[in-house]
Structure 1
Amino acid sequence: MGAVWGLMAAFAFGTADYAAARSSRKIGVYSTLLCMQIVGFVLLSVMLLVTGEWRGIFSVRGIAAASLWMFVDLLGIVALYRGLHVGKASVVAPIASSFTVVTVILALLSGETVDGTALLGIGLTAVGVICATIARPAAGSRSDASSRLAAGALWAILASLLLGAAFFGLRTPVEDIGGWATVWIGRLQASILLPAWLWLGKRRPEWPKERRGWLLVLAVGVLDALALTSYNIGLTHERTAIVITAASLFAVVTLLWGVCLGKERLMRSQWFGVLLTFAGIGMVTL
């Protein structure tokens, strides 16, 4: 069940990232982030009341751990979106998606053990995700491209480290206060911090100007909240290394949405990466 929850998280994360990329082009990175945090907070408030998990929020230890790791997660998302904004997705995506490898390494170092088949599956998935998201750079100005690639790569490396640490650390608050409550605290925290961030930077959030734009940020907020919650629930069923490997399929999901809706074309190496990723996930799940 842990791997199944991880796969559900992957689908939601991948779809949310695709929608967030489109929304960021319309209203900007920080405005998209703010909208998705507010939407997630409202949704999770309802879910806490329905599931009765709100009772666990009163754990001081759980609140502290959730606040810490969800803040690290927020910083990782900001770095990722910033990297996609200043660099090329063909460079940023494979570097940032390697955060799952960081999580697995931290989990194994902490004492988790997996059998040989699962370990091989983890390796195949990591290689597959990287192959699937690497694309040949388009022709253009070499000087301009090199500066954009360098900037995007630096942000992607930072995102990978932050997200990898956050997804490893989330097990602590999840075991204490539950998956829904953990993400709820993160969304509440982000809904306060992001407006302060914009105010300090003397920026004004840009709201969607049409119905389609509102539907887009609504979808991002709902899917991202459900993705994180699915991952957290998966942690209650299985080891971190297994759940995060299943969730790493999100990069392939985003890529496939680009093919289906954005009419993008994949190279042979990317299709090979997709197949390799599915094979790795299958081995981990079995």
Structure 2
Amino acid sequence: MSLGIMFGLMAMVSWGTADFIATQAIRREGTFNTLLWSHVISMVLCISAYIVMVGDMTVTPVSLLKAGGVGVLGILAYLMFYRGLEVGETSVITPISACWVIVTLLISILVFGQSLTTVQAAGVCLAVAGAIATSFRLSDLSSTRRLARGVHYAVSTVVIAGIFYSSLDALTGRMGWFLPVVCVKAFGTLTLLAYAPIGKRSLSFPRSSVTSILLVGVLEVIAYLAFSCGVYAHYSSIVAPICAAFPMVTVVLSQRFLGERMATNQKAGIAALVCGVIILST
């Protein structure tokens, strides 16, 4: 198994676990507070780790400006996704939003000139299908009314997130695997802090969910660094579909610890993902 795929799996597990923990915190503290403070923790951890491990924070103004733009894109993707969940149906918004990986794939191939063998393309298709299938319950979709509500937010998430991860890949190629994550997290956090007064959001620290927020922050750092290392070592067109399958981890954890039942389409999605990873690993 290549390093790129190993890092992709690490990012998938970290993001899936973070999403599971964040969901519990969001139910207690609300979306914005959970998102903001987990990003603050991620930013502090990233900057501290970079200073200790590398020490040199020198970055050109142009690179800093590019990283800032990418960081803003990342936060916009988060906000679009959560806004979609607020006004629409989870069973509709989540699977549409999961299609961001298709945009990343198209950019990787059409813009960055990455190419896949027939076998790799088959593995990627299985991984993408698995990522989308595990993100929702088909039975919920069939019983949902007013399916169109919030869909424009989901589509916005697809486009913005797809461009975000492709841009992070491009930054990694120019700035290394660590510094882009530091810059993206810093600018993302600053964007949230700037948005708070505009959106009339509270900045109070969620003391009742300290452990959950800390864990989410740590796992987010691990996930982003793993993704960055993955695309630094391998094509993003192969690493991104594996990372995008993180809902599978969330679903498995929800079944194990919350007693939630896994739908047939989710089981099929997990099977497709496993087959895709096996194909990509050979």
Shift of 1:64: 2.1
Match of 1:278 among 268, 274, 277: 274
8 Å CA contact retained: 2:130, 2:245: no
1:12 paired residue number: 14
1:214 paired residue number: 210
Match of 1:35 among 37, 40, 45: 37
Q: Provide Cα deviations, 1:125-170, integer angstroms capped at 9, x if missing partner.
A: 1122222223145599x8xx534x4334332221111111111111
Establish whether residue 162 from structure 1 lines up as the match of residue 160 from structure 2. yes
8 Å CA contact retained: 2:108, 2:236: yes
1:133 paired residue number: 135
Describe how 1:1-286 pairs up with structure 2 within 5 A: 1-52=3-54, 54-55=55-56, 57-110=58-111, 111-138=113-140, 146-147=145-146, 149-210=147-208, 213-286=209-282
Shift of 1:56: 5.4
Aligned in 2, Cα 1:64/1:139: closer, same or farther, shift over 3 Å? closer
Shift of 1:102: 1.1
Provide the TM-score with structure 1 as the length reference: 0.90
8 Å CA contact retained: 2:134, 2:270: yes
Shift of 1:96: 1.3
Measure, in 2, the Cα distance between the counterparts of 1:203 and 1:282.
45
**Greater alpha carbon shift after TM alignment, 75-84 vs 231-240:** 75-84
Measure, in 2, the Cα distance between the counterparts of 1:261 and 1:151.
31
Equivalent residues, number: 279
Which letter does structure 1 place at the counterpart of 2:79?
Answer: V
Unaligned runs of 5+ in 1: none
Measure, in 2, the Cα distance between the counterparts of 1:16 and 1:70.
19
Measure, in 2, the Cα distance between the counterparts of 1:226 and 1:241.
20
Moved segments of 4+, more than 6 Å = none
The SS at the match of 2:258 is coil
Q: Provide Cα deviations, 1:227-275, integer angstroms capped at 9, x if missing partner.
A: 1111011111111101112212212111111111221111222211111
Measure, in 1, the Cα distance between the counterparts of 2:23 and 2:85.
8
Q: Provide Cα deviations, 1:25-54, integer angstroms capped at 9, x if missing partner.
A: 2111111111011100111112102220x5
Measure, in 1, the Cα distance between the counterparts of 2:278 and 2:62.
36
Identity of aligned residues (%): 25
Measure, in 2, the Cα distance between the counterparts of 1:139 and 1:188.
37
Unaligned runs of 5+ in 2: none
Which letter does structure 2 place at the counterpart of 1:241?
Answer: S
Aligned in 2, Cα 1:36/1:268: closer, same or farther, shift over 3 Å? same
Measure, in 1, the Cα distance between the counterparts of 2:20 and 2:151.
19
8 Å CA contact retained: 1:27, 1:207: no
Measure, in 1, the Cα distance between the counterparts of 2:42 and 2:207.
20
Measure, in 2, the Cα distance between the counterparts of 1:163 and 1:22.
23
Aligned in 2, Cα 1:78/1:132: closer, same or farther, shift over 3 Å? same
Shift of 1:78: 1.4
Aligned in 2, Cα 1:166/1:138: closer, same or farther, shift over 3 Å? closer
Shift of 1:74: 1.2
Measure, in 2, the Cα distance between the counterparts of 1:22 and 1:154.
26
Aligned in 2, Cα 1:56/1:195: closer, same or farther, shift over 3 Å? closer
8 Å CA contact retained: 1:90, 1:134: yes
Shift of 1:206: 4.2
8 Å CA contact retained: 1:80, 1:96: yes
Q: Provide Cα deviations, 1:5-43, integer angstroms capped at 9, x if missing partner.
A: 111111111111122222112111111111011100111
> Root-mean-square deviation (CA), in Å?
2.0
Aligned in 2, Cα 1:69/1:31: closer, same or farther, shift over 3 Å? same
Aligned in 2, Cα 1:177/1:264: closer, same or farther, shift over 3 Å? same
Aligned in 2, Cα 1:218/1:24: closer, same or farther, shift over 3 Å? same
